[in-house]
Amino acid sequence: MALADIVARIRAAERAAGRVEGAVRLIAVSKLQPADRVQAVLTAGHRLFGENYVQEAGEKWPAWRDRFPGVELHMIGPLQTNKAKVAVDLFQAIHTLDRPSLAQKLASLGQARGALPQLFVQVNTGAEPQKAGVLPGDLAAFLRDCRTMDLSPVGLMCIPPEDQDSQPHFAMLARMAADQGLAGLSMGMSGDFETAIAQGATHVRVGSAIFGARRQTRA
């Protein structure tokens, strides 16, 4: 199946980049995919999935979690502050910490619950006006503010501009993570995950290359 092909390509890209085997985690992005395709990937043994919408994830995953022990869910879509409480209960990682108001909300949830999902800060490497993410020039101050609030992001995430070569964006993200002492790098999708691995990705987010084309909107 496509999952096995993608896993093989990830292992080959790790080898080509001189990375340790298994250094890169595959997040299978299951948003807007039919249930039978997701179940096939679960049945094949894969356990790490990414979702973009809190409500969709909350509807789909509790039942699968009961059937397939060990599922790990990562939030990779924009997170509204008023959905943060549901999100921290549903997800083991949030890749889209992108603004001070969300950091404040997560910090107060963390104080109330004693623990939070792993956090990645989304960086708008292309400085695109319509795209979420902290601007590169604001990252150091944002991370300082996070740490003041007792948040400890583990890495950075980016979505390069669609019309550009991803490679310089991945290289920029890797440089910023190194400068900030962050080990996690969430970058690379179906079309460019091998490029991301060459630049140091620790998490690649692959959807359509595993599952096929998805519906364009939520049902």
Binding site for ligand PLP (CB under 6 A): 29, 31, 52, 76-77, 159, 189-190, 205-209
Q: Are strands 118-122 and 155-157 parallel, antiparallel or unpaired?
A: parallel
**Which residue, 56 or 145, has its beta carbon nearer to ligand PLP?**
56
Instruction: In angstroms, give the least distance from the CB of 111 to ligand PLP.
Output: 28
Question: Cα–Cα–Cα angle for 194, 199, 204, nearest 5°?
Answer: 50
Instruction: In angstroms, give the least distance from the CB of 216 to ligand PLP.
Output: 11
Instruction: In angstroms, give the least distance from the CB of 25 to ligand PLP.
Output: 13
Q: Report the residue closest to ligand PLP, judged by CB.
A: 207
Measure the CA–CA gap between 206 and 191, rounded to whole angstroms. 9
**Which residue, 143 or 189, has its beta carbon nearer to ligand PLP?**
189
Q: How far is CA 150 from CA 79, 105, 115, 123, in A?
A: 20, 12, 11, 20
Ramachandran area for residue 196 (φ above 0: left; ψ -120 to 50: alpha; else beta):
alpha
Contacts for 160 with CB less than 8 Å, ≥ 6 apart? 125, 126, 166, 169, 170, 187, 192
Which of 34, 31, 36 shows the shortest CA–CA distance to 49? Answer: 31
Measure the CA–CA gap between 45 and 136, rounded to whole angstroms. 37
Helix (H, G, I), strand (E, B) or coil at 73: strand
**Which residue, 27 or 42, has its beta carbon nearer to ligand PLP?**
27
**Which residue, 106 or 159, has its beta carbon nearer to ligand PLP?**
159
Instruction: In angstroms, give the least distance from the CB of 69 to ligand PLP.
Output: 25
Helix (H, G, I), strand (E, B) or coil at 154: coil
**Which residue, 142 or 193, has its beta carbon nearer to ligand PLP?**
193
Sign of CA dihedral 141, 142, 148, 150: negative
* CB of 31 closer than 8 Å to CB of 52: yes
**Which residue, 1 or 140, has its beta carbon nearer to ligand PLP?**
1
Instruction: In angstroms, give the least distance from the CB of 154 to ligand PLP.
Output: 17
Instruction: In angstroms, give the least distance from the CB of 63 to ligand PLP.
Output: 22
